[in-house]
Structure 1
Amino acid sequence: MLRKKLNIAPAWLFRSEDGDLLDPVTFTLLSGIHETGKLTRAAQQAGISYRHAWNLLTRGEQFFGMAMVVMRKGHGTHLSPLGERLLWSEQRLRARLEPQLDSMASELNNQIQQLLEGAHPVLRLHASHGYAVALLPELAGELDLRYCNPIEALSALKRGDCDLASLHLPTDPTRAERVLATYRPLIHDQDLRIIRFVTRKQGLILRAETHERVQGLADLTQPGLRFINRDEHSGTRLLFNLLLAECGIDETRLAHATQEEFTHTAVAAYVAAGMADVGFGVEAAAAQFGLDFIDLAHEHYLLVCHTAQLNQHNVCQLLDAMTTPEFLASLERLTGYEPDHCGTIGTFDDLTLGHERDA
């Protein structure tokens, strides 16, 4: 297993007409100020001295002709409107690009691994972007993780372009059957098994000041309330539209519902930046940005594979690693996630009919 892995991260580069550059560490410093309200602690988090931090802020003010922070004696340090705009723009950039960059990094790491150690089987997982699935590449073995929507993932599995695909289904059996109906053409006439992984909470993501106006889905139709949606092919969008239909709400009644983001993180960043009032996504994304969350539905996040592949060494290796106390503990630390019989093999009928028997 490759011990030194390549990571790709987006970075903003500001250059003036005179060729002056704004140090990218400035964004890390702004994030620390936003979180702590203290320049000293923000400098420590950024790994720089207080003097260097002060110089970065001074240079930033000269660069833009406007202060990035407001410092008041006895009140700490806070971001100015410019500082906030820069920070949230950088956060949205990361949220939008990181899934694609993580997929590229996974591909490059496996190419390097093959070059160093010779060709060997690599487990290929095509999955919806999420906080729990992002932990899987850290387990034993080589895992090539590519992010895509469920239709793309299941299509790749059917073609043989991946070994595992992800799928998330509501824990409510009636809702699960309705969601499965969308994917039936892609799983029909295939000998497939599901691998249990986690459950996660999905709901409304909003700022604290919006919580007084919004208590549930019905409140999303209020005039002037701005909603940020997920992309139309995502599993989360499918769930959201299902919940709207259950409440008799037409999606066209939601202001700005045509505005879309491609990940839970991007939705939360959009709301945190004040560009939307409410979004829909997982609780972990809300927690990442210090936002409020209204729990509306729980989902099974599953892995799907062909039965014949369950005996492959790399699949067995992954299943064993998924049941270790250390990995289960890492899942429990994720807000809104819980291990869900992690690593247990079953069928779609076991999942849906099992709930009916338990009821």
Structure 2
Amino acid sequence: MAPSHGTPPRTQDELLTTDEVATLLRVHPKHVYRLLKRGIPARRAGGKWLFPREEVLRWSEVSTRSAPEPEPSRDEAAPAPLLAANGDLAVETLLALHQANHHPLIGFVLADRTRALELVEQGHVLAAGWHGALPPELEARGGLARIHLVHREVGLITAPGKKPPALERLSRVRLASRPPTAGVRHHLDQTLRENGLDSEAIHQRAQLLASHRDVACAVARGEADVGLASRAWASRLGLSFRSLGHEAYGLIIPTACLGAPAVVGLCETAQGSALRRSLRGIPGYEPGDTGKIQILAARASGRARATHNGKEGVQ
């Protein structure tokens, strides 16, 4: 996969097509798509892949010094066209627009971020909703892509017109929270620790619900006095809100699945202006980098991260 030196000089930031990259690296054009799962720098634009020439050359020099990755077995079943997430409104909006654009259908599986990532790792789903840092072993192994959707605000919610109680009183009220495997629990647990409070004691009698929607509905129905959820869901049901922090939220997809028609459609929908407009209208959402795609390449290749648009991806 040595680069060809017979091509004319190019500008440093020029983007190459798939065929041009194939010529540059002296490989078949179909092989370029296989290189996506190995972390070759690329971005999607107008429904096709584009490759920053200088980054491709640097990546090629490093990757040729490492052992080639084995090709997947032809008998290996592709993941079902499913997306596992916790019911975030950004995901609901994305899937609705994806369907409206007549892309191949993607089903939804309710799961917190830990379970969703397990389903991706086991090959049961195409994508997982994720926020926060990935486990170090997955970052090191690579083979995953992250699509940023939105920065969202999370916190405590209560009935309309009622202020969330003081943190030290949470153990004495009916708390609707999330399991420890849910990413949003990190914000509450950290806030409790910073205030010298024991999260385990606070959650001893709490309801641990499966999603932000379930928490918001429990508070709205009067089944809980306070809940842990996003501002977006609090606003959807007209509930009061007290912020605990902000976090980046997006999708994790195996790079080997990036060429699947359903995933291509999902990427195009995520990068479209319609999704940004829709997310901008939801309180607690900041869609500035919506659609940015980041490849998490194996660190053994010498490049821990390469993004599809030549920029550092969103954490």
Which TM bucket (shorter chain)? 0.5 to 0.7
1:128 corresponding residue in structure 2: 86
DSSP-derived class of the 2:125 partner? coil
Question: Does structure 1 conserve the Cα–Cα contact (< 8 Å) formed by 2:147 and 2:292?
Answer: yes
1:193 corresponding residue in structure 2: 145
Q: Which among 243, 246, 249 is matched to residue 191 of structure 2? A: 243
2:290 corresponding residue in structure 1: 342
Structure-2 separation of matches of 1:272 and 1:220: 23
2:253 partner letter: C
Q: Which among 136, 143, 159 is matched to residue 106 of structure 2? A: 143
Higher helix share goes to which structure?
1
Offset of 1:355 from its aligned partner?
7.8
2:54 corresponding residue in structure 1: none
Correspondences of 1:75-154 after superposition (within 5 Å): 123-138=81-96, 139=98, 140=101, 141=103, 142-154=105-117
Pairs aligned (count): 221
2:121 partner letter: K
TM-score computed with the length of structure 1 as normaliser: 0.54
Structure-2 separation of matches of 1:121 and 1:289: 35
Alpha carbons of structure 1 residues 252 and 317: separation in structure 2 relative to 1, 3 Å:
closer
Correspondences of 1:64-79 after superposition (within 5 Å): none
* 2:145 counterpart of 1:165: no
1:190 partner letter: G
TM-score computed with the length of structure 2 as normaliser: 0.61
Structure-1 separation of matches of 2:313 and 2:83: 26
Question: Where does structure 1 lack aligned partners over 5 or more consecutive residues?
Answer: 1-119, 170-175
Offset of 1:285 from its aligned partner?
1.8
Q: Which among 250, 266, 275 is matched to residue 302 of structure 1? A: 250
Structure 1 residues 18-65: Cα deviation after superposition (integer angstroms, max 9, x where no partner): xxxxxxxxxxxxxxxxxxxxxxxxxxxxxxxxxxxxxxxxxxxxxxxx
Offset of 1:166 from its aligned partner?
1.5
Offset of 1:136 from its aligned partner?
2.4
Alpha carbons of structure 1 residues 310 and 187: separation in structure 2 relative to 1, 3 Å:
same
1:231 corresponding residue in structure 2: 179
Question: Does structure 2 conserve the Cα–Cα contact (< 8 Å) formed by 1:194 and 1:345?
Answer: yes
Alpha carbons of structure 1 residues 314 and 219: separation in structure 2 relative to 1, 3 Å:
closer
Structure-1 separation of matches of 2:224 and 2:204: 9
Structure-1 separation of matches of 2:178 and 2:202: 13
2:300 corresponding residue in structure 1: none
Instruction: Report percent identity of matched pairs.
Output: 29
Offset of 1:207 from its aligned partner?
2.7
Question: Does structure 2 conserve the Cα–Cα contact (< 8 Å) formed by 1:210 and 1:277?
Answer: no
Correspondences of 1:238-277 after superposition (within 5 Å): 238-254=186-202, 257-277=205-225
Structure-2 separation of matches of 1:222 and 1:299: 23
1:315 corresponding residue in structure 2: 263
Q: Which contiguous aligned blocks of 4+ residues in structure 1 show a shift greater than 4 angstroms? A: 185-188, 347-351, 353-356
Structure-1 separation of matches of 2:272 and 2:292: 13
| RCO higher in structure (CA 8 A, sep ≥6) | 2
DSSP-derived class of the 1:249 partner? coil
Question: Does structure 1 conserve the Cα–Cα contact (< 8 Å) formed by 2:151 and 2:249?
Answer: yes
DSSP-derived class of the 1:276 partner? coil
Structure-1 separation of matches of 2:180 and 2:170: 22
Alpha carbons of structure 1 residues 255 and 241: separation in structure 2 relative to 1, 3 Å:
closer
